[in-house]
Amino acid sequence: MNKLVSIVIPAHNEEENIIVIVDRIEKVFDTLPYRFEILVVDDGGTDKTLEVIENLAKAKDNFFYVEFSRNFGHQPALKAGLDYANGDCVISLDADLQHPPELFRQMLEKWEEGYDIVYTRRKEDKKLPFKKRKTSYYFYRLLNSLSDIEIEQGTADFRLLDKKAVKIFRDFKENDLFIRGLVKWLGFRQCPIDYIPEARFAGASKYSVSKMRKLAIQGVTSLSTKPLHTAAYLGFFFSMMSLLYIPYVVYAFYVGKQVNGWASLIMTVAFFGGLQLIILGIIGIYIGKMFMQTKNRPNYIIRSTNIEGIL
């Protein structure tokens, strides 16, 4: 079999993990009838990740790397890998070894069956901290409630894409990338594979609670206009509710009773003032995304690479 499989690995400060994950990938392909290449994208790290991947590139003919000029983020790094991968299919995974390369065999079997996209669903690991598990749960719940597509619990950026899907990704010019949502939006024949994540081999997780929150907002606003509709419905609902107060005001006027309740009045004004700021904030996010998109800046800037023809 002469098919080429590209392995894309975004890496940010993963110097201790790169050699280990490359070794495991090579052992997996020793048992598979495919040619393969590995493409690591160094996302502006501050450790020795670049030095490690440069040494691997000198020693291995099928090892390639792209170095960003600064830290652009995980999603642009993943996009860069898809942009420069040459395989008949592309498998993306993180460098921390929580995505087991041994799952490649199942993914490739599904691909050979005719599926264009094979994505993975992480089973809940009871060993993870309660806060981490709940953060992940509410992340997907918020995303699905406010977007137009359904992203399954535990879905991440560990997946196989046929070259047809990869070709479409290369044409995307979106400034605010949310690739796992775009994968569902693409359609094609998709198939899930469940797996149990392994423990991170070395280093610390790059996704804090604040980054997960930012990613959720980015995903919702990239895939849907539902938040704008929700803001409009809220405004309509509270406008209708305010009409219920009119009979009381009319009654108080004719019977000569003073309208008391400064505390409740201030509370009401503060509540609706806050609501208006939330609605304006939602609108502002969309306008801000449009503003950034009109600049037409690239998703990333490449500082160095061993791929011919890029620089």
Instruction: Look at residues 119, 115, 9 and name the one whose alpha carbon lies nearest to residue 64.
Output: 9
Helix 163-171 × helix 179-186 angle, to 10°:
120
Look-up of token digits 């423990």? 199
Q: Which residue did the predictor score with more confidence, 206 or 87?
A: 87
Report the phi/psi class of residue 97: left, alpha or beta, with left for phi > 0 and alpha for psi in -120 to 50: left
pLDDT of residue 243: 61
Say which amino acid occupies 217: I
At the topology level, CATH places domain 4-207+297-305 in Spore Coat Polysaccharide Biosynthesis Protein SpsA; Chain A (3.90.550)
Question: In the predicted model, is pLDDT for residue 204 greater than 70?
Answer: no
Domain limits, the chain: 4-207+297-305, 226-295
| Percent of the residues in the chain that have a pLDDT greater than 90, as a whole number | 37
pLDDT of residue 173: 80
Q: What is the mean pLDDT of the chain?
A: 79
Question: Is residue 21 scored above 60 in pLDDT?
Answer: yes
CA–CA distance, 101 with 306 (Å, rounded to integer): 24
Is the pLDDT reported for residue 12 higher than 80?
Answer: yes
> What is the per-residue pLDDT across 134-191, written as a single tens digit (0 to 9) for each?
666 666 676 666 666 677 777 888 999 999 999 998 888 877 788 887 888 888 899 9
Distance CA 154, CA 145 (A): 16
User: Of the given ranges (21-35, 105-119, 169-183), which has the lowest mean pLDDT?
Assistant: 169-183
* Cβ 21 vs Cβ 95: under 8 Å: yes
* Gap between the Cα atoms of 177 and 73, Å rounded: 10
Fill in the amino acid letter for 290: M
How far is Cα 167 from Cα 80, in angstroms, rounded to an integer? 13
Q: 175: which residues sit within 8 A by CB, 6+ positions away?
A: 289, 292, 293, 295, 297, 299
Give residue 131's pLDDT band: very low, low, confident or very high (50, 70, 90): low
* Residue 225 clears pLDDT 80, i.e. is over it: no
**Spacing of C-alpha 4 from chain mean position:** 26
Q: Which pLDDT belongs to residue 37?
A: 95
Q: What SS3 state is found at 241?
A: helix
What would the pLDDT profile of 243-300 be if each residue is shown by its tens digit? 666 666 666 666 665 556 655 666 677 667 767 777 777 777 777 767 666 777 788 8
Higher pLDDT, 55 or 237: 55
CA–CA separation, 25 vs 264, rounded Å? 64
CA distances to 196, 197, 242, 269, 270 from 262, rounded to whole Å, are 57, 56, 17, 10, 12
Q: What is the DSSP letter of 224?
A: -
User: Which letter, b or e, does each residue of 212-249 get, where b requires 16 or more Cβ atoms within 10 Å of its Cβ?
Assistant: beebbbbbbbbbbeebeeebeeeeeeeeeeeeeeeeee
Please state the rounded mean pLDDT for residues 115-135: 73
Count the neighbouring beta carbons within 10 Å of the beta carbon of residue 175. 17
